[in-house]
Structure 1
Amino acid sequence: MKISEIAQRLNTSVRTLRFYEEQGLVHPRRKPSGTRVYSAANEGRFAAFLGLARLGFSLNSLAELAGIRRASATGDEASRKVAKRLTEIENELAERARAIKYQRADIKKALVLVTQCHNCQQRPIRSVCAQCPVSAELEDIGVLQLVWDEEMPCLCDKCNQPL
């Protein structure tokens, strides 16, 4: 099978797959002419790398996992090391899932608040919006801290208070 077919099925680029190959993570067969021939097992390996990479795992981390069996002297050693690393990955994913759940809830609260401003004709600046009752809930919503304009410190040497 051609690498372009695999790339299309996995929704990635040929360049990404070639990079994994260059890193020694996937080893296709070669025809006598030198043309690479990718198997279903190669595609599965690419898919596994991509799946974890897309979740934020580094290539070094994935390469380490992929090399455990080869670097182990016994099946017992390999299985224990693989189990340990998979447990670490599972724990990282669980933590990320908690963080995603929190962020999604924060974004949902932000959407409820922001949609209350849909027909507002005022200029969206701190001095104006701070007078609006909708902004009272602003500080409880993390993502809106990115949207709400920052307080600008007074440049006066006497007070150093926000404007």
Structure 2
Amino acid sequence: MSAAGREPAPRPADEPLRSEDARRLGYRRAGEVAELLGITVRTVHYYEEEGLVTPRRTSRGTRYFSEFDVRRMEVCVRLACVGVPLRTIRDVALTRLDAGSGDDFGRAVVELIARMREDFRANLAALRNLLADLERAERLARSCWSCPNSPTRRSCPGCSCETQLASSFFMHLAWDPDRPAASPRENSS
């Protein structure tokens, strides 16, 4: 049973797979899948534990993943890389198992897609804001390129990074950590 408490989809053949047959059919071992997708073998096994893929096994327990398993896992990896929670990925992957009809399945998937799109839109807005801030930070950092002074507020009090610090959220991480508490003028911006 998967971690979500649902049975994984049955495989066409429940008997053990022979390694020779697996290779002939183009199946891949966990390490090959991990390398192909740029993830760890532990992640491949974790996705199996979560019920997202169901590899075939040899009589000795070696896992073999079909091309479909690999593509399915690739979707999981891509979604996880952009911040989709594993719970949502699992819900999508297992929706068909809970559906009593095509109508149930279609409606459930559309609802999940709608939620993901809403989350992506919110994330895109946050990323656009961060990108604009990084562009401001880059302009400030470029203003230091020809400066011979040490990059601190004490040795370069007129530095753009110091005088325009409030214009870039990012520069609060990059600029002088020995900076004194903000002045009242800076707090008002």
Paired position in structure 1 for 2:6: none
Kindly state the Cα deviation for residue 134 of structure 1 after the two structures are TM-superposed. Answer: 5.5
Kindly state the Cα deviation for residue 150 of structure 1 after the two structures are TM-superposed. Answer: 6.1
Paired position in structure 2 for 1:116: 143
Paired position in structure 2 for 1:85: 112
Paired position in structure 1 for 2:46: 19
Alignment of 1:1-163 (within 5 A): 1-133=28-160, 135-148=162-175, 149=177, 151-153=179-181
Q: Could you tell me whether the CA contact under 8 Å between 2:136 and 2:167 is conserved in 1?
A: no
Kindly state the Cα deviation for residue 122 of structure 1 after the two structures are TM-superposed. Answer: 2.6
TM-score between both structures, scaled by the size of structure 2: 0.72
Higher helix share: 1
Higher relative contact order at CA 8 Å, sep ≥6: structure 1 or structure 2? 2
5+ residue gaps, structure 1, are 154-163
5+ residue gaps, structure 2, are 1-27, 182-189
Change (3 A) 1:133 1:116: closer
TM-score between both structures, scaled by the size of structure 1: 0.82
Paired position in structure 1 for 2:16: none
Kindly state the Cα deviation for residue 16 of structure 1 after the two structures are TM-superposed. Answer: 0.7
Q: Percent identity?
A: 29
User: How far does the alpha carbon of each residue in 1:121-150 deviate from its partner, in whole angstroms, 9 at most, with x for none?
Assistant: 333333444433563332111111222336
Change (3 A) 1:133 1:38: closer
What secondary structure does 1:117 align onto?
Answer: coil
Change (3 A) 1:137 1:28: same
What secondary structure does 1:126 align onto?
Answer: coil
- Structure 1 distance, partners of 2:81, 2:160, is 41
Paired position in structure 1 for 2:22: none
Q: Which amino acid aligns with 2:106?
A: S
- Structure 1 distance, partners of 2:74, 2:156, is 48
Q: Which amino acid aligns with 1:64?
A: D
Report the aligned-residue RMSD.
2.3
Kindly state the Cα deviation for residue 114 of structure 1 after the two structures are TM-superposed. Answer: 0.7
How many residue pairs align between the two structures? 155
Q: Which amino acid aligns with 1:53?
A: A
Kindly state the Cα deviation for residue 73 of structure 1 after the two structures are TM-superposed. Answer: 1.7
Q: Which amino acid aligns with 2:39?
A: T
